[in-house]
Structures are given as C-alpha cells and as structure tokens.
Amino acid sequence: AEAEDIKLCPRCSAFIMKINDGSCNRMNCTVCGCLFCWLCLREISDVHFLSPSGCTFWGKRRWSRTRRILWQLGMVLGAPMVISLVAGVAVPVITIGIPIYMGRKVLAGGLGSRRSSLSGCQQCLSVTSSVLLSLFVSPIITAITVGVGVPLMLTYVYGTVVLSLCR
C-alpha cells in the first residue's frame, strides 16, 4: 500500500486505508465512528463538500489554493447578481403559479375528490374561490420565501465564504 492510501483518523489516530477504486472522499472510522474528509482529514458536516473548502466528493486531491480563491471571489462578487436573479424569477413564478396550480388541482378534483357530485355551478364556484383565495395567499408566501431565502443566501455567501477566504 502506498503512503497516500493510508491515513490517520483525525479523532482517534487509528490507521485508515482507502482502496484506490475511485470511491468518494467521505470516510467513516470503524473504531470511533468519526466521519471525516479523506483529502483534508477534518471531521465533516453535511455541507463539507458543498463549502468552498476545495475538497471534492470525488477525486484524489483538493483544489489548488489559486482555484479556491478564484471560486470564492467569484461567489462573493457574483452573489448579488445571482441572488437577485433567483428572487426576481421566484416572485412571479410563486405569485402566478400558485393560483394556476390551485385552480387546476380543484378542477381536476384532486383536493376534494367529490368532483362528480358537484353541479357545474358548484364546480365553477369552487375553482373560482380556490383561485381567489390563492391570489391572496400567494403574495404572502412569496414575501416569506424571498424574505427568508435572500438573507439566508447572503449569510452563506458573505459569512461562510468570506470566513474561508480569511483562513
């Protein structure tokens, strides 16, 4: 076995051997149960491979320092444009999409499933009332989605990414 195929667990220092078969870099120590990254030998969280650490889920080595910094700077500089684009698309999609979805769902009989027992007038009234109700509710859902989603994305980009740039 080569030296790069055997490493120490970051928690208990037990020897861990990775078979060089192209498998993922998420390792589990059988001695202490520690989940760690094979590339950086740090204990990992659920978002370790999504973070700008340079560790890839598949692959044999981390990104170079230059590539990591360029990626992080791209995220920091491009985030306002991407976040505003996502929010700009989400607002009309949610505001218009929910009433259309509700109208189609009620018309198809998916919500009440009593479609056959309703007269034409009652069916028209139920579709109209569901669309009108969703027209009042969808802006609230839109405001909550954008009001929570945008700050979360900004916190991630300007919190996590900027902190990792400083390391």
Residue 90 one-letter amino acid: A
State which H helix or E strand residue 49 sits in: none
Q: Is the dihedral of CA 111, 113, 115, 117 positive or negative?
A: negative
Which alpha helices (H) appear in 12-64, and where do they start and end? Answer: none
Tell me the pairing of strands 6-8 and 26-28: unpaired
In b/e form, how buried is each residue of 60-71, taking b as 16+ CB within 10 angstroms? eebbeeeebeee
Which alpha helices (H) appear in 65-111, and where do they start and end? Answer: 65-108
24 is catalytic: yes
Which of 9, 12, 24, 121 is catalytic? The answer is 24
**Which residues are marked as active site?**
24
